[in-house]
Structure 1
Amino acid sequence: MGKRYKKKVKKPINKKKRVLIVATVVIIIIGLVIGIPYYMLNRQLSKIHKAELPTNIGIDNNSYLEKNKELQDNYINILLMGVDSRAADQDARSDSMMIATIDKKHNKIKLASLMRDMIVDMTGHGPMEGLNQDRLTHAYEYGKAELTLKTVNENFKMNIKNFVEVDFFGLEKIIDQVGGVEINVTSEEVPYLNAYVKEVAGIEKVTPKLVTKPGLQLLDGKQAVGYARIRYVGNMDFQRTERQRTVLTKVLEKLSSMNPLQLNNAIGEMLPNVTTSMDRSDIISLSKDVLLKKINKVEQLRIPIDGHNGTIYVRNTYFLGWDKKENLEALHKFIYEEDYNEESIK
């Protein structure tokens, strides 16, 4: 699995193929709404879609369970999922998956991206029918958020109890609400970005607003989402996750400069497009923790890590392979730091 991850360049637009969505807006929900009065936040949270989870969500017995309550309280893990649900006639996939950690011990928010094409253990479908392996992104298509959460917990030895899911509409609206984001677009990225903008504009039946030149410039919601979707310039999905984090960082910078009323309006635009298993009381409690501890530093990781991934084929189907031991160790050390327990990844 030491080969560099490569894939043939395809046409940039295919409505049947789901693409990466940044789950940026969830950060607002879980605490970067510093300064919003309690009653305003509580009222806005009534707009969110609440989902229930089954009892079995795949938490491993070794994964930092309640035997250490202090550790559980210090590190709150939530699965973030970005879903393209524009076309009603298509089965949506969660092509953006992140483990968000609210680290109250070190006063950080940590985002660990999980790449969509990773091969994972779960019941196979399509060309993988009859096998116990499939692509991570297929979990949502076959079992929605519940199966995705279970698959992540089982394959990455995690203890995630809740998820937050957002679609294209939420991301576009929040970017527009903050006045757009400044991104340095390369000449190679411009045609791909515009192709995505045209696709979305066609679905929404509006006139596309295209990027006319490369360079540092202000992108609106559709353009910024189009930028985050680019997969065929540079190092494929690896670089696409970097674009995703660039957009995320820019949005957070804008949010940090907003006044309470502006933040409240931004949340009002976004929440109708969000689904979560978290109770409103839990969201508010977590927001208070972030506020009181002044948690505003964001750290990032991508799984699989460099040097421990590679292209593999099963039944002539492409997957992103990953060295399990090294990647699980990197993920758990990133999340738990000195509280990392080697037994948790066995």
Structure 2
Amino acid sequence: MGKRYKKNEKKPINKKKRALIVVTVIVIIIGLVFGIPYYMINRQFSKINTTTISRDNSKLGIDSNAYNEKNKELQNDYINILLMGVDARAVDQDARSDSMMIATIDKKHNKIKLSSLMRDMIVDMTGHGPMEGLNQDRLTHTYAYGKGELTLKTINENFKMNIKNFVEVDFFGLEKIIDQVGGVEINVTSEEVPYLNSYVKEVANIEKVKPTLVTKPGLQLLNGKQAVGYARIRYVGKSDFQRTERQRTVLTKMVEKLSKMNLLELNTAIGEMLPNVTTTMDRSDIISLSKDVLLKKINKVDQLRIPIDGHNSTIYVRNTYFLGWDKKENIEALHKFIYEEDYNEESIK
């Protein structure tokens, strides 16, 4: 594992390559929402990389007493998929899922719901490194210890979810998509400029190209590298909390640009993104879900961040920083957000 930072120890800006959020995956859903013909979807989906995981609920951390035949209709109305942003460039076991979202296709209310899970939350799992011998560790570390399947299992167990599939991407894919839509307009503050540029330089150096830096603050059109750099900032404002806000800003701007594209442009954009996607869903599953999205004309996006305000805290275990969270209140908030009036303690324990 990479270095763990102790209390009062400042983290370097560029030592660790950070993966971005899984916004690129949403491009698939957006593309379907805006009506790409079936044959175009089917052709593009052949570019997706697939991987397999267990289909045993117990091995995926799904509580069969909570999700059973009695609430099968509820499970059909609300489809949950884990979206992960990982550092796909890593050649060792140090890669982490730095960004995690639960994407819910809400067929009952015709919505797409995105629930961000903050990477530093302390969760119940087998500890490693400084947490060796304990049954706790940081959520972001699950991917390094057991890849996507362990991350999915840990989220199901800690948040009482029923997720059976995941999609993972890297931020190089997002960079391409943003460039494909012509960039996004973002209001960058003077404090954010140097951090944004540091990430631009990092990626440009890896790609061996000349970096195009942001030279001033204010509302401006950012290209792919710049927008990715903006969304990775976590050292200005409220740390990782504000980083998730920046990520949602980039997503919103992408939605605005994509909604104005014609079918040919949108099809090309999806074609650019899909080779960077890995998923446990097969093509038939995706097509089936796509039809539901199309037929119900689902195009509204609601968002939530876990932990919620007022129910999180800074804690240290063995001098290592973690984000503490009140489980009862946060799990209840997450389930109410996803299931709305269908949530109750009896139907989803």
Shorter-normalised TM range = over 0.9
Q: Does 1:317 align with 2:316?
A: no
Cα–Cα, structure 1 residues 90 and 185, in superposed 2: closer, same or farther, change >3 Å?
farther
Instruction: Summarize deviations over 1:296-328 as a string: whole Å, max 9, x none.
Output: 111100000000000111111110000000000
Output the CA distance in 1 between the equivalents of 2:8 and 2:298: 39
Give the match for residue 97 of structure 1. 100
Q: Give the superposition deviation at 1:63.
A: 3.6
Q: Would you say 1:165 and 2:164 are equivalent positions?
A: no
| Deviation at residue 64 of structure 1 after TM alignment | 3.4
Secondary structure at the counterpart of residue 23 of structure 2:
coil
The answer to whether the 8 Å contact 1:182/1:218 transfers is yes
TM score, norm. by length of structure 1: 0.94
Q: Percent identity?
A: 82
Show the counterpart of 2:153. Answer: 150
Q: What is aligned with 2:205? A: 202
Letter in 2 for 1:12: I
Q: Is 1:37 the equivalent of 2:40?
A: no
Q: Deviations over 1:255-307 (max 9, x none)?
A: 11111111110111111110001111111111111111111111100000000
Aligned residues of 2:19 and 2:171 also touching (Cα < 8 A): no
Compared with structure 1, are the counterparts of its residues 210 and 65 closer, same or farther at alpha carbon in structure 2 (3 Å cutoff)?
Answer: farther
Evaluate the alpha carbon distance shift between residue 90 and residue 161 of structure 1 in structure 2; reply closer, same or farther with a 3 A threshold.
closer
Q: Does 1:238 align with 2:237?
A: no
Partner of 1:276: 279
Structure 1 residue 199: Cα displacement = 0.6
Unaligned runs of at least 5 residues, structure 2: 1-6
- Asked whether the 8 Å contact 1:194–1:211 carries over to 2, the reply is yes
Cα pair 1:31 1:290 within 8 Å, conserved: no
Deviates more, 1:65-74 or 1:307-316: 65-74
How many Å apart are 1:67 and its aligned residue?
2.8
SS at match of 1:174: helix
Q: Which residue is 1:285 aligned to?
A: 288
RMSD across aligned positions (CA)? 1.6
Which of 315, 331, 334 in structure 2 is aligned with 1:331? 334
Cα deviations by residue, 1:205-233 (Å, 9 ceiling, x for unpaired): 11111001001111111111100000010
Is 2:87 the partner of 1:84? yes
Distance 1:317 1:343, change over 3 A: farther
Q: Aligned-pair distance for 1:49?
A: 0.6
SS in 2 for 1:41: helix
Could you tell me which residue of structure 2 aligns to residue 110 of structure 1? 113
Q: CA deviation at 1:344?
A: 6.0
Residue 189 to residue 90, structure 1, CA distance change in 2 (3 Å): farther
What CA distance in whole angstroms lies between the structure 1 residues aligned with 2:30 and 2:71? 24
Give yes or no for contact 2:200–2:226 (8 Å, CA) kept in 1: yes
| Residues 1:7 and 1:179: Cα distance change in structure 2 (over 3 Å) | farther
1:14 aligns with 2:15: yes
Instruction: Give the whole-Å Cα distance in 1 for the aligned partners of 2:304 and 2:232.
Output: 19
Which amino acid counterpart does residue 212 of structure 1 have in structure 2? T
Give the Å deviation of 1:70: 1.5
Gaps of at least 5 residues in structure 1 are 1-5
Deviations 1:133-188 (A, max 9, x none): 00000000111101000000000000001101001121111111111111000000
With over 3 angstroms needed to count, the CA separation of the structure-2 counterparts of 1:122 and 1:35, relative to structure 1, is: same
In structure 2, what is the equivalent of residue 47 of structure 1?
47
Cα distance in 2 between the residues matched to 1:238 and 1:138: 18
Deviation at 1:111, TM superposition (A): 0.4
DSSP 3-state at the match of 1:30: helix
Shift of 1:29: 2.2
Q: Is the 8 A contact 2:142 2:150 kept in 1?
A: yes
In the alignment of these two chains, the number of paired residues is: 339
Cα deviation 1:43-63 (Å, max 9, x = unaligned): 110110111111311111244
Counterpart for residue 61 of structure 1: 64
Contact map agreement 2:131 2:137 (CA 8 A) in 1: yes
Kept in 2, the 8 Å contact 1:32–1:296? The answer is: no
| Contact 1:10-1:232 at 8 Å conserved across structures | no
| 2:133 alignment partner in structure 1 | 130
Give the match for residue 25 of structure 1.
Answer: 24
Structure 1, 282-291 or 224-233: larger mean CA deviation: 282-291
For 1:230 and 1:8, the matched residues in 2 are separated by 18
Distance 2:63 2:9 in 1: 37
Does the alignment pair 1:264 with 2:267? yes
225-234 or 62-71, which deviates more: 62-71
Return the letter of the residue paired with 1:207: K
Q: CA deviation at 1:36?
A: 1.1
Partner of 1:3: none
